[in-house]
Chains A and B, each alone.
Chain A
């Protein structure tokens, strides 16, 4: 069977599986729809969180980006995993004990304020929409590359699938499809990685092969060869960084804190039965994520070494077959400037003859390793699983924010559960359509908006929730002014450099040398400082709020304990 046949078969089978699961786990109540009835096992929640978290960007683009960034790629690796330590230790158990349905729920209740809730709703919806547009685009791209349908058709097929299980099943449907999607995506990621590791280093485990010697009999370490090839061709050594230390520090911190503040990740910890389940499921989630995140840099290194060896002053007529087949898709472009018939790949733009799309590092792996056709189909199914699972989690946040936080908690408090559920479904459907629209007509600034989403999550939610748990004295005045200060500062900085004056976007003009990707860290600090100062000069929160904080700090309420308390 050919590549097309295998791809249709495997993608078709996985889609049938998702729809089957969604049908079996339909939501009957708003509790089912928002938090899967709070009955998800910690292991299942760990897998669902991992699939929720790992998007089309993690699956398709990350390894490629790292292979072009070298050591600087660690900002993504550490930034997108280290946040789970913050989440597990500082947020998840307490939010689970709080026991409501959404992040704006917590912010609104803890800060006894409709304004705080509205600020949280706006942030949650904005962050989720910026993120989901990229996912739908990812679905379209996978379809168009592997199945030769156009991007629009691909996005519409993706919309129908997500519509089916997000609208029908809500959180319950999403959770169990995400478990299946995790299995598909991790299998699809590891199989080619393992084969390419064997091919290049003779080691079955990519994480070890990455630091091993080459299988070509030279006995040289892979990374040494990579450094050597890079310098020889005029690039920086692979294992050296070129970003400034302060920028790497701030970007990593912004991605970590942003991860811990993303509503679609936080809400997953509302779905487990107990506080201790929330803790352990964060551990499972990071374990499952780490499986991909420690493989990705290895794939990046293998792919880079392979690429450099293939093209290093090679005659164009002798390039391997995968090279020409990816040229057809436009992901590799060769332009023989000096007309000598050899490929000249250098960092100097005026003489460089080769342009490579980073995405190819994952997509072309099976062909480079000469794996059977079914593996290529598997990679397509894995990319779709990553994009669809993340899209569904984000859409749920949007629909919950509209139905629960806006309609029920803000405008129509006496709404019946059935009507609320209907509103949630309509909102989910509406969100799918809006996301699909942006997937088909992507705004030209998708890359910048992701920095935006993380920066805002870091500068708004993370400090507000953290202070809500760890500071008894934090009041609504402090929290609201902190969130607004953090958001305004971060948004202004990003808008200034990314949208208004992109020509000024370089390290000479940046504040303290911090790029827009890393500015969320400073936004978070501004939020914290503002909140702490303002709260000292305004009224302490009411007694029942301080009691609520005491309650969420312990996993189980002890009635007599509060009577002997001395506050």
Chain B
């Protein structure tokens, strides 16, 4: 039987793993490692790889933090760790 704090921490680590995987894929993946391959596709006037490297990755970063905030606030409530 795990304590509440341990369950909470485990769930937190799962969220972190998922969110950081996305963080890695959009920046180091799409913006750096696969940038030339993605450049064969287009998004309006942008080559797709170039767009991820100079625009898209940053938008995803912002969204990731807000998703994290939402998930953690929900988790805090579920485990009764939310601050008064």
Contact = CB atoms under 8 A, between A and B. Distances in A.
A147 B33 CA distance: 45
B14 to A, nearest CB: 12
A550 interface: yes
B27 A252 contact: yes
Interface stretch (A82-90, A101-109, A366-374, A481-489): A82-90
Interface residues of A, number: 55
Interface of A: 66, 71, 73-74, 77-78, 81-82, 84-85, 88-90, 93, 207, 210-213, 221-224, 239, 241, 245, 248-249, 252-253, 256, 274-276, 279-280, 282-283, 286-287, 290, 293-294, 297, 550, 553-556, 558, 561-562, 564-566
Contacts of A84: 61, 65
Question: Which 10 A-B residue pairs are closest in the complex by CB-CB distance?
Answer: A221-B45, A74-B53, A283-B65, A211-B45, A297-B54, A211-B46, A211-B44, A239-B50, A88-B65, A274-B83
Interface residues of B, number: 48
Contacts of A241: 35
B39 to A, nearest CB: 7
Contact of B82 (A77, A81, A556): A556
Contact of B68 (A88, A211, A249, A293): A88
Nearest to A238: B50
Contacts of A252: 27-28, 31-32
B9 to A, nearest CB: 5
Contact of B55 (A239, A256, A279, A297): A297
Contact of B44 (A221, A287, A558): A221
B65 to A, nearest CB: 4
Contacts of B8: 553-554
B60 to A, nearest CB: 9
Contacts of B50: 71, 223, 239
Interface string B46-84: 110011011101110110111011001100100011111
Interface of A is mostly: helix
Contacts of B59: 290, 294
A71 B33 CA distance: 13
A89 B45 contact: no
Contacts of B1: 566
Interface of B: 1-6, 8-9, 12, 16, 19-20, 23, 27-28, 31-33, 35, 39, 43-47, 50-51, 53-55, 57-59, 61-62, 64-66, 68-69, 72-73, 76, 80-84
B3 A276 contact: no
B45 A223 contact: yes
Nearest to A301: B54
Contact of B5 (A210, A213, A249, A550): A550
B61 A290 contact: yes
Nearest to A92: B65
A77 B20 contact: no
A61 B47 CA distance: 25
A534 to B, nearest CB: 24
Most buried by A among B35, B55, B57: B55
Contacts of A554: 5, 8-9, 81
Nearest to A222: B45
A384 to B, nearest CB: 25
Contacts of A88: 65, 68-69
23 contacts: A71-B35, A73-B54, A77-B58, A84-B65, A85-B19, A85-B64, A85-B65, A89-B19, A207-B55, A221-B44, A241-B35, A245-B33, A249-B28, A252-B28, A276-B72, A279-B68, A283-B66, A553-B8, A554-B81, A555-B83, A558-B81, A564-B3, A566-B2
